[in-house]
């Protein structure tokens, strides 16, 4: 097996893991939502929060596959531009999902956690 063949296998493996994370994570999110319904609680928030986290993880894994593909197999300017666009779109999606899930900009997250814990910004 030559290097390029091994890299094709690695790309397919990362893609498969990314898809499996999305599929099984989505199923798990709905199962958690169903358990909330059985307890008489609304399931929407639980399902939404867990689905968002699953999508974030799945996107990160799929980005790894795209990076490996572009760097090791298809290293042309066109593929690099395509990778850049894919990463930008996925980064925007990830950023948007994190704001939706946490309700705060990522760089302000620690300040919000300190406020929740009752700590002042001064220490």
Give yes or no for a contact between 90 and 32, defined as CB atoms under 8 angstroms apart: no
Q: Answer whether residue 74 shows pLDDT above 80.
A: no
Residues 6+ apart with CB under 8 A from 24: none
Task: Give yes or no for residue 113 having a pLDDT over 80.
Answer: no
The pLDDT score that the predictor gives to residue 44 is 87
pLDDT for the residue 43: 87
For residues 34 and 43, is the Cβ–Cβ distance under 8 A? yes
Question: What pLDDT shows up at residue 25?
Answer: 96
Q: According to the model, what pLDDT value does residue 101 have? A: 77
pLDDT(115) > 80: no
pLDDT reported for residue 116: 59
**pLDDT given for residue 112 in this prediction:** 59
The percentage of the chain sitting over the pLDDT mark of 90, rounded to a whole number, equals: 33
pLDDT tens string 34-43: 998 999 888 8
- Distance CA(116)–CA(37), nearest Å, equals 28
Confidence of residue 10 (pLDDT cuts 50, 70, 90): very high
């Amino acid at each position: 097996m030559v290097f390029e063949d091994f890299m094709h296998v690695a790309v397919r493996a990362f893609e498969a893991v990314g898809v499996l994370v999305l599929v099984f994570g989505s199923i798990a999110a709905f199962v958690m939502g169903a358990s909330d319904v059985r307890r008489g609680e609304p399931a929407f928030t639980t399902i939404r929060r867990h689905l968002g986290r699953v999508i974030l993880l799945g996107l990160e894994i799929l980005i790894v596959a795209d990076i490996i593909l572009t760097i090791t197999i298809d290293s042309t300017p066109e593929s690099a531009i395509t990778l850049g666009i894919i990463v930008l779109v996925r980064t925007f999606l990830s950023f948007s999902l994190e704001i939706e899930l946490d309700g705060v900009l990522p760089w302000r997250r620690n300040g919000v956690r300190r406020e929740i814990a009752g700590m002042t910004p001064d220490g």
